[in-house]
Structure 1
Amino acid sequence: MYSARLTLFAAIAAAMLMALPAANVASRAAVGGTLLPPDLRDLWSLDRIEGNLGYLAMTCCDRSLFPGRVQIGREGYLFLGDEDGEVMAKTEGTWPAPEGHALALAKALATLRRGVEDAGAAFTAVIAPNKHSVYPEMLPPEVTPPPRTVTDDLISAAQDAGAPLLDLRPALRRAKDGAQAYLRTDTHWTRAGAAAGYEAMMEHLGARTVPYDLAPVGAPAGDLARLLKMQALYPPDTETDYRITLRAAPVTCAAEIGLLSGNEGPCEPVQTDELSVMDKVLRVTRTADAPNPQTVLMLCDSFCTASSALFNASFTEVYRVHWKFIDDRALERYLGTLAPDIVILQMVERDALSLGLGR
């Protein structure tokens, strides 16, 4: 009896074990993909089944298996869903904003501005748009943005509070007429979009820009495809991005500074390398021949990576850290020790509706 049960259990376990790779082969065949040798290790992956089925649902029915995570737009555009900051509800105008929400944020921004200016620095707050706001014509057919959104309410309230926000939506909408401004399968702007944001910010600051050229390049599918676990199903050059080439290569070095210790490492040459703020460090770049002899402190997010080489080449000294890694006390310390001439707070639109340092 025991031997028979053991044999039955082994047979069921073997059938279950083989069901995954069989399902993966079948689902990959359904979406027209191939199984290459490096993929064999993933045959037992539930993620592969989910990704293949998601890709099939997208291509045949323009539907997402996880619309809260990612929604399928027109012409292959993917958009972030409501699980991240209720961004689609804010786009549609159905988000129930708390009473006095925009005014409270505007007052907090005005307080932050006064603190920075009292320390002797100029202050600029910038909204990097959601893709939803720049490509509304590519949103899912059932999504119709209203004439006025909560972002407009925030911008108006900030203006009234004496802390105007630089809204990059108009600059990015103009940019898309001549280039791909946002990646179709990613939340972020392309380097052409980032360059348009750079131009608008430099004009707002009254600063001199550096000359550069943009050249289109292919790029793999982005973070939205990855959220649906189907990034590998796209061709390696499915996206149109751009390469930024500075016409006069700057002599730039970069160093990392510990957020807690304050210790600075060696300043290593980076030239035109892009720098991220997604690590818990404060980064500084120094460019001796920059056209603007000022020190800038940038409190930003992942949207400042693509334009980082442009800003690095434009200012003598640029300190850069993610806004969520510091608080008001840390900012006060940086204002005293770094003595910046300019402080820029740049937030992606979906986060700007919860303005404030740290989380």
Structure 2
Amino acid sequence: MFAKRWDTVHVGRDGWLFLTGGSNRVMDQYGRGPRRWWRLRAWARLIEARAVRAARLGIRSVHLIVPEKLSVYDNLTADLPYDPARAATRILARRLLRQPAYLDLLQPFRAARDGAPLYLRTDTHWSVEGCLLAYRELMRALGAVPPADIATRPRFEAERLMDLGEKLPGRPRERVSHLVIQRAAERVHAGPLVAAYEAEGRASELHTGAHVIYRNAVPGIDGRRLVLFGDSYAHFTPIMLTGLLAESFAEVHFVWSSSLDWGYIERVRPDLLVFELAERFLARLPRDDYDVAAARPDLESA
């Protein structure tokens, strides 16, 4: 492990910002040591065990870990002292090479990094192009075909202060492109947390516990039901991966959680189970004891 306590944000070339510290101590995740080795081994075993359990229920499962910008754009970090070959996504891809339930996004992201930017310059999240690339790779892994027009839907741009930019003294802003994804999919259920936060105009503050269901009755839609456990790279609003999947399948359930709720999965009985997580969150191993039904707002503080 690195002994140094890294700054939260590193300024790279051409104004590119990288998360290096924070609660997940991102730079430490590129280090060595037995604790890191055991944690990634535990993750590999968890993914394998989840795949077996899903298969017993007749469910096809796919895990995708969203690579950190550090893992993809080491060429833009301005000599930051770390080894991108130590990325957790690279190590998991080697460990799970023959496991069809693990989708390696690092290789296609690094192969495409010299084209359109796959991440926002001043944010930890992927750009429209990065999200679309991950979506296409996931659809291939699920044996599904994207709608022909999905990448050409309308876009709009806005200048915004993003999550890494707001941590710097100068608070640099960025012109961000957004894809207007939703066309045929309809949200048919919002969990209590989503309903409460939206009612108070605080939806942007909601994270873990968000639960929504989308249905899509457009002619020719892939008729399978999909359950997605993910984070902000998927999101409960139809602006990222969840939105793309809702336009691609007859029914999509999204739960914002790194821990699975097997009781919920068994009740819904989806055809497809997808797990998405940002690479930095591999710092903690989930217990898979999440309870979707228990995620309710604190009415006194909400």
d(CA) in 2 for partners of 1:125 and 1:182? Answer: 20
Matched, 1:249 2:183: yes
CA distance in 2, matches of 1:221, 1:101: 34
1:107/1:158 contact within 8 Å kept:
no
CA distance in 1, matches of 2:111, 2:156: 18
Q: 2:276 aligns with which of 340, 343, 346?
A: 346
Cα RMSD over matched residues?
A: 3.0
What SS is found at the alignment partner of 1:83? coil
**CA deviation after TM superposition for structure 1 residue 95, in Å:** 4.2
1:74 paired to 2:13:
yes
Residue aligning to 1:271: none
The answer (yes or no) to whether the contact 2:89–2:104 under 8 Å persists in 1 is no
Q: For the pair shown, which has the larger CA radius of gyration, 1 or 2? A: 1
Q: Deviations over 1:162-192 (max 9, x none)?
A: 4652121233334443322111111001112
SS of 2:263's partner is helix
- Aligned-partner Cα distance in 2 for 1:216–1:177: 23
Residue matched to 2:145:
208
Distance in 2 separating the partners of 1:303 and 1:251: 19
Q: What is the CA distance between 1:216 and its match in structure 2? A: 6.7
SS at match of 1:126: strand
Measure the CA separation in 2 of the matches of 1:223 and 1:88: 18
Given that residues 185 and 225 in structure 1 are in contact (C-alpha distance below 8 angstroms), is that contact kept between their aligned partners in structure 2?
yes
Q: For residues 275 and 197 of structure 1, do their structure 2 counterparts lie closer, same or farther at Cα, with a shift above 3 Å needed?
A: farther
Structure 2 residue aligned with 1:105: 43
Matched with 1:136 is 74
Q: Aligned partners of 1:252 and 1:291: how far apart in 2?
A: 13
Matching residue within 106, 110, 130 for 1:193: 130
The equivalences for 1:1-359 within 5 A come to 67-90=6-29, 93-98=30-35, 99-159=37-97, 162=99, 164-210=101-147, 211-212=149-150, 213=152, 215=155, 217-228=157-168, 230-231=170-171, 234-235=172-173, 238-239=174-175, 241-245=176-180, 249-258=183-192, 278=207, 280-289=209-218, 291-305=221-235, 306-324=240-258, 327-328=259-260, 331-356=261-286, 357=288
Ranges in structure 1 where 5+ consecutive residues have no aligned partner: 1-65, 266-273
Deviations 1:264-317 (Å, cap 9, x if unpaired)? 98xxxxxxxx99972523210011116210110000010113233211110100
Give the Å deviation of 1:333. Answer: 1.3
Over 3 Å counting, the alpha-carbon distance change for 1:281 and 1:303 in structure 2 is closer
Q: Secondary structure at the match of 2:103?
A: strand
Q: Report what 1:42 is aligned to.
A: none
- The number of residue pairs the alignment matches comes to 269
Query: Cα 1:245–1:225, aligned 2, differ >3 Å: closer, same or farther?
Result: closer
**Structure 2 Cα separation of the partners of residues 129 and 184 of structure 1:** 15
Amino acid at match of 1:133: S
State the TM-score, normalized to the length of structure 2: 0.78
Paired with 2:206 and 2:110, the residues of 1 have a C-alpha distance of: 26
- Is the Cα–Cα contact under 8 Å of residues 157 and 178 in structure 2 kept in the other structure? yes
Q: CA 1:346–1:300 in 2, change beyond 3 Å: closer, same or farther? A: same
More helix as a share of residues? 1
Per chain length, whose mean CA-contact separation is higher, i.e. which structure has more relative contact order (CA < 8 Å, sep 6+)?
A: 2
1:226-284 deviation line (CA, Å, top 9, x unaligned) = 233543xx35xx23x333245x931523421348xxxx98xxxxxxxx99972523210
Q: Is the 8 A contact 2:89 2:106 kept in 1?
A: no
> What TM-score does the superposition give when structure 1 sets the normalisation length?
0.66
